Each structure stands twice: as C-alpha cells, then as structure tokens.
A and B are shown apart, each in its own frame.
Chain A
Amino acid sequence: MDFKSSDTIPGPRTEDHLPHTAQAAVKIVIVGGFGVGKTTMVGSVSEIRPLTTEETMTQAGIGVDDNYGSESKTATTVAMDFGRISITDQLVLYLFGTPGQERFWFLWNGLFEGALGAVVLIDTRRLEVSFDVMGRLEERGVPFVVAVNSFPDGPRYPIEELRTALDLSPEIPIIECDARRRASSRDVLMTLMRFLHSLAMSGALT
C-alpha cells in the first residue's frame, strides 16, 4: 500500500526537528500589552516560524474585563505565540509571548513559575499598560528585565526617568530595543541572562 508521507500531517519541517539528544528545555516569558511587539520579538530570534498554542477559558465574567454587567459564562480562546532556540544538542530554549493579564497565565501550567525569568516589553506611548504586569511579577518573585521597544512615534524618556516612573529598583536592567531586529532581541535576552546570573552569584555569596 502506498503510504502517504508526512506532508499530509501537520508538523515541523525536517530541518526544524530537534536532535534526539535533546534532553531538557527551559523557557523565558516575554510579557506585555497588546501590540507591544511580543510576537515580533519571538519571531526575530526564533529558529522556527513562531507557533501558537491556545487554551479555552470558560468562566463567569466577574468584572475582570470591560464587559461589566455581563455575568453570563463566556468562552474565550487565549492564544500564546512562541518560538524556539536550540542552545546545545541537549538543551532547548523556548520563548513565550504572553498577554499581560494575569488571569490568562493560569491557563498554562507553571508558565511563569517554571520560567528562568521574564522580559517585560513596554511601549512608551502606553507605559501604564505594563504597570500591573510588573507588580504581579514582583509578587510572584519572577526575575525580570524591562525592554523598551522603540517605536518611531513613541516618546523618548531617559532610562533613569523611566526607572523612576516604573518604580524599579536600581539593579533591574532597563534597555531599549528594536524587537524587529534579531541582534537587538538577542541582546535583550542576554541582558536577562546576565541579570539572572548576577542574582545567582549574589545568592551564592550570602
């Protein structure tokens, strides 16, 4: 019998297969408001075309959204884009771009708890949409850096002015980036890794 080959089954391209030696994965979460450039950043550094995982949330609307007064049960599909970077033959890094609303984070087991850390991506035109995210990461003890995605028409603030406005302690890195550029997005991830490394070092000394 002629077996229809894998082109009928959705799946990775042959060159996107991970080696059999891949033993474990780590993840970093990129979190920010709608349209801030999360998916752009994931796509610019990912070795695979960004993919989307979805989850369906069915629960009563209890005033957590804009639909006040709506007490009826609503089903919402929440999507999260992600990409992948092979670190070594054994280790894989996944990047998830997730909406800023905390109620979505519970849809995926341990999205933040299991992550190495997070990048809070902000847009200076709408700084306030990221305020809540930072508070929630702080409460959860998730280490994060802040990346300012530079939009041409966005106001430019000196970093220290931003630090004051965001009420961030001096050790938390704030960097400007262009999420469309691979090198720039890579630098954001490197900044996070160096920050995590410094936390590990200081923790080891105490």
Chain B
Amino acid sequence: MTPPQRKRRQPDQDHLPPLPSVPPAPEHGGEEGDNKNPERLYVISGSDGARAELDLVTLIVARADPPPSVTPEQTVLLRLCTAPLSVAELSAYLNLPFSAMTALITELITAELVQARAPIVRQALPDRSLLEAVMHGLQKL
C-alpha cells in the first residue's frame, strides 16, 4: 500500500478563499499588531486596551501582596503567582481566555504589582548553549 502524496502549495495556485492569516485590523486600533484577532475579550480589564507583549510562557511573579484597590480576579492572580507561573498556567487556573489574562496582567505590571520575566524566543541563529541545556534537562526525564 502506498501512502497518499503531499502536494506542496504553490502561491499562484491558491484558488481557495483566502484564509484569515492576517485578520482585519481591530476597530479600536491601539497598539495591536497585525497578528491579533479582532474582538478580543476586554471585559475584565478596565484599561484602555494597551497591553504589554505577553507571551504564553512569560513568567509572572507577584511583587507585593494584593492591595485593596485591585479586582477580585487580580487578587486571586497575585496570590497564585507568589511563585513564578506562566501566563498560560494563570489562564488555565483562573479559567480565563488568554487575551483576557494578558489584559489583566498588563494592569498589574503597570501598577508594579507583578514582574514579567520574558521568554527566550527562537532567533535566526539559536543559542547553542540554550539548546544544550534543554537537551540535558530532557535526558534527566
């Protein structure tokens, strides 16, 4: 039996309706990049929509106990991240969509209540020592 054969996509043969690979710009403008989806949930955020560039794996650490001024969600968040937790984990534990989570965290960063530890992202030339560290870590599994 022969497996089915993949045919590479040719750009000029792309007769399908265009996929929303670059979604239309959000109506509210702001500091949104091109790759954001419109109509994010801002409900929980009271901010003007400006958000820090938070990745799924940005580590969030509380810098202070929750002051009375923050919302109940932010109080829970601050208690959760007394030890470092990724934005993805916070989103999972608080059962909030990623976009709502980033809005919430951005407010806390602005208020200097949490610290964000940026992830190491892939570069054109990956850092070999980083790759070797990950390999050593996996070997211990």
Residue positions of A touching B, CB distance < 8 A: 6, 9-12, 17-20, 22-27, 45, 51-59, 62-64, 82, 84-88, 91-94, 96, 102-103, 106-111, 113-117, 124, 127-128, 131-132, 134-135, 155, 157, 161-162, 164-167, 182-183, 186, 189-190, 193-194, 196-197, 199-201, 203-204
Contacts and interface: CB of A to CB of B under 8 A. Distances in A.
Contact of B20 (A64, A88, A161): A64
A87 B53 CA distance: 24
Interface residues of B, dominant DSSP: loop
Contacts of A23: 59, 117
Contact of A114 (B7, B88, B119, B139): B119
Given A59-B20, A116-B126, A204-B125, A91 B53 contact: no
A166 B59 contact: no
A111 B2 CA distance: 34
18 contacts: A24-B59, A51-B93, A55-B97, A58-B38, A59-B23, A62-B20, A87-B138, A91-B133, A94-B57, A103-B21, A109-B35, A109-B54, A111-B56, A161-B2, A161-B3, A165-B6, A190-B138, A196-B126
Interface of B: 1-9, 17, 19-21, 23, 35-39, 41, 53-59, 61, 76, 79-80, 83-86, 88-89, 91-95, 97-99, 102, 117-122, 124-128, 130-139, 141
B135 A194 contact: yes
A103 B20 contact: yes
Interface residues of A, dominant DSSP: mixed
A190 B59 contact: no
Given A11-B80, A24-B118, A190-B135, A131 B6 contact: yes
Q: Which of A54, A117, A124, A165 has the most CB of B within 10 A?
A: A54
A148 to B, nearest CB: 11
Given A193-B131, A194-B135, A157 B56 contact: no
A7 B84 CA distance: 18
Contact of A54 (B4, B55, B91): B91
A109 B105 CA distance: 15
6 smallest CB-CB distances across A and B, nearest first, come from A87-B137, A51-B92, A25-B57, A114-B121, A165-B3, A17-B83
Contacts of B120: 24-26, 91
Contacts of B17: 62-64
Nearest to A131: B6
A116 B135 contact: no
B19 A94 contact: no
